[in-house]
Chains A and B, each alone.
Chain A
């Protein structure tokens, strides 16, 4: 169940026309408005879980919205630890949640425990 967009803002008026772009999140295609934040595009698409944190694999997502808490961190085109609330959507971005423990490191093996 997702709530979608504010089509008619009480003060700012109708939602301006902005091209839609498609990016991927954890391999799945998502549509967003060009130039909005990744977190906003995901939220509008009904995706709120951005990553699973820690040993207990707790679902985490947008929290402070101003780039402070890093709970929304994602890997974009291979660059890790970017804030989804600060990074903007562009066509063909490959976005993944995290990184967090349990994810394979680049070019190496992991030790469990």
Chain B
């Protein structure tokens, strides 16, 4: 086979559409159905082999305090959204990486579909990624993010390992730990990252206990729920941190240990163990308690960061808002950006969950249709109001992934109000 065949330019394959949507996750798919449904020619671009984005790995059944279960079947939702988009007339360019975005818009791709797409409007729904957790030994094969573990179990139906440890205590890591356990992995526990500046707040037991208390309404243990109600209001997490059992408590049957930290991951070619130690009340490792635990897979969890390369290349003003995950493209109530023909939707606008992303996709889709003259001002404003109401409702019932999303969104709205409509340089939230 000619090894260089793949690189030969066989003539540029060009596709022209009204709207290009980059990212076929819940936000992009929802936007596609909305936009194509208005008669605009629409291309949805994704580097994956099938649409769905992070939905493909999101399969969980989380028991809540009131005895109900929160069931979410991401792949099914993805299939439905994909079918809706296709039925509305959207065309998919899968297995395609956007390597360049140039004014016009000219989208240059590398992959199986067209090499170039020309589009008047863009919807950037590129989602978010998980930051790395740097524990000594973290590059060993067998160390993966909780997101990767989730994909292995739920999408690929592969067992991550026989004995697992999860480093990083947050709702996502607890959920993935529970999924792995239900699939047959022995999850030894969910522990803290090593204390220090790299992990930041996530390595402070007091903060994590605060976080767990916030999640307490979701815990099936009545003891924890009661403690949560009594103590949370008084911010007595100091007290709780020191009386927290060293062996942790069980949340959904998984030992959660805010007073124990992973210090090092060991192995030769692959992971074979992790070194754990208890934390003192000053959140320092007590080396007398250091011990080695045999595991064959380590899952790390850290904060999520919006993937803003494409909005940045497109010239959108970005703002750093910690409560939304980091840099986000500055956007208005209908998800318009500081660049007239560019709209955003989903976790790239600030890390939230899939139902929120789906609603945002509708909102951005409506904004594009309005910008393209397919719906009237009055209709558009009515839609914006309606979706905003649905968003507020969805957020009230959302899984409490991040505690200060509302504050983050309020800050963003304020920054938008202050920004001129075009051409403003990067605004830091500290400047407000």
Of B135-143, B218-226, B329-337, the stretch lying at the interface with chain A is B135-143
Query: B270: which A residues are within 8 A, CB to CB?
Result: 48-49, 59, 61
Query: C-beta contact mask, A37-77 vs B, less than 8 Å → 1, else 0?
Result: 10010011000111000000011111111111101000001
Contact in complex: B162, A79 (CB < 8 Å): no
Contact in complex: A63, B73 (CB < 8 Å): no
Interface residues of B in 145-197 (CB under 8 A from A): 145, 147-162, 179, 182-185
- Tier of interface size on chain A: 35 or more
Contact in complex: B156, A37 (CB < 8 Å): yes
Known A-B contacts A10-B183, A12-B59, A36-B156; the reply to A64 vs B148 at CB < 8 A is: yes
Contact in complex: B139, A60 (CB < 8 Å): yes
Contact in complex: A11, B61 (CB < 8 Å): yes
Output the residue of A35, A64, A106 with the most chain B CB within 10 A.
Answer: A64
Give the size of the chain B interface in residues (CB under 8 angstroms): 50
| B185: nearest chain-A partner, CB-CB | A3
Of B47-55, B255-263, B279-287, the stretch lying at the interface with chain A is B47-55
Complex Cα–Cα for A4 and B217 (A)? 35
Contact in complex: B159, A6 (CB < 8 Å): yes
Contact in complex: A62, B157 (CB < 8 Å): no
Interface residue B130 (Cβ < 8 Å from any Cβ of A): yes
Contact in complex: B141, A50 (CB < 8 Å): yes
Contact in complex: B144, A3 (CB < 8 Å): no
Complex Cα–Cα for A66 and B305 (A)? 14
Query: A88: which B residues are within 8 A, CB to CB?
Result: 49
Do most interface residues of chain A lie in helix, strand or loop, or is the interface mixed? loop
Interface residue B9 (Cβ < 8 Å from any Cβ of A): no
Query: A71: which B residues are within 8 A, CB to CB?
Result: 139
Contact in complex: B152, A40 (CB < 8 Å): yes
Complex Cα–Cα for A82 and B145 (A)? 20
Contact in complex: B3, A106 (CB < 8 Å): yes
Q: Please give the distance in Å from B175's CB to the nearest CB on chain A.
A: 13
Q: Please give the distance in Å from A20's CB to the nearest CB on chain B.
A: 13
Query: A37: which B residues are within 8 A, CB to CB?
Result: 156
Interface residue B371 (Cβ < 8 Å from any Cβ of A): no
Output the residue of A4, A61, A63 with the most chain B CB within 10 A.
Answer: A63
Query: A4: which B residues are within 8 A, CB to CB?
Result: 158-159
Interface residue B1 (Cβ < 8 Å from any Cβ of A): yes
Query: A5: which B residues are within 8 A, CB to CB?
Result: 157-159
Interface residue A103 (Cβ < 8 Å from any Cβ of B): no
Complex Cα–Cα for A109 and B160 (A)? 40
Complex Cα–Cα for A3 and B132 (A)? 25
Interface residue A29 (Cβ < 8 Å from any Cβ of B): no
Contact in complex: B161, A78 (CB < 8 Å): no
Contact in complex: B151, A43 (CB < 8 Å): no
Complex Cα–Cα for A9 and B157 (A)? 8
Contact in complex: A6, B157 (CB < 8 Å): yes
Complex Cα–Cα for A3 and B185 (A)? 9
Complex Cα–Cα for A4 and B142 (A)? 14
Contact in complex: B152, A43 (CB < 8 Å): yes
Besides A9-B59, A10-B183, A65-B145, 19 new A-B residue pairs in contact (Cβ under 8 A), listed by A number:
A3-B161, A3-B297, A10-B179, A11-B71, A37-B156, A44-B159, A48-B142, A49-B270, A59-B140, A60-B139, A60-B141, A62-B141, A63-B143, A63-B144, A68-B129, A69-B132, A78-B3, A79-B6, A106-B3
Please give the residue numbers on chain A whose beta carbons come within 8 Å of chain B beta carbons, in ascending order: 1, 3-6, 9-12, 15, 35-37, 40, 43-44, 48-50, 58-69, 71, 77-79, 85-86, 88, 106
Which A-B residue pairs are the 6 nearest by beta carbons?
A: A65-B148, A61-B141, A40-B156, A3-B159, A48-B141, A78-B3
